[in-house]
Amino acid sequence: MTDSPAPPHHASILIVEDDRTVLDITSFVLETAGYPVLTAMNADEALAVLALHPEVGLVLTDVNMPGRMDGIDLVHAVRRSGTSVRCVVVSGDALHAAERLDGAAPFLAKPYDRRSLLQAVGAALGTG
């Protein structure tokens, strides 16, 4: 099965994931599809990356992470910042995450495959 790669995109994707294996695989899939990728292991790191990289157009964040904020708190912080950065939330706990998100961002259930990841990212960025 081959999906055509996304066109090169000027906006970067910030992946926020504390599981190194998931982070590496997700980065590989998105980079292979033509997306520039930045990474963070928790919400505090993600906010620091966002402050330094205005080219970030999408935050792809897990819900459960170490630190003072989880991924849903991160989405709300990004929304409050007033930027045009879009967000997609991923989690293995779909019911709990969807309730807490309350429509603030699209949700992608773990485990996800390459196709569903690229579809979610493309839809969020308006490229797919």
**pLDDT band at residue 84 under the 50/70/90 scheme:** very high
Global model pTM greater than 0.95: no
CATH of 12-125, one of 3.20.20.60, 1.10.287.110, 3.40.50.2300, 1.10.3720.10: 3.40.50.2300
pLDDT in tens, 29-58: 999 999 999 999 999 999 999 999 999 999
Three-state helix/strand/coil letters over the chain: CCCCCCCCCCCEEEEECCCHHHHHHHHHHHHHCCCCEEEECCHHHHHHHHHHCCCEEEEEEECCCCCCCCHHHHHHHHHHCCCCCEEEEEECCHHHHHHHHCCCCCEEECCCCHHHHHHHHHHHHCCC
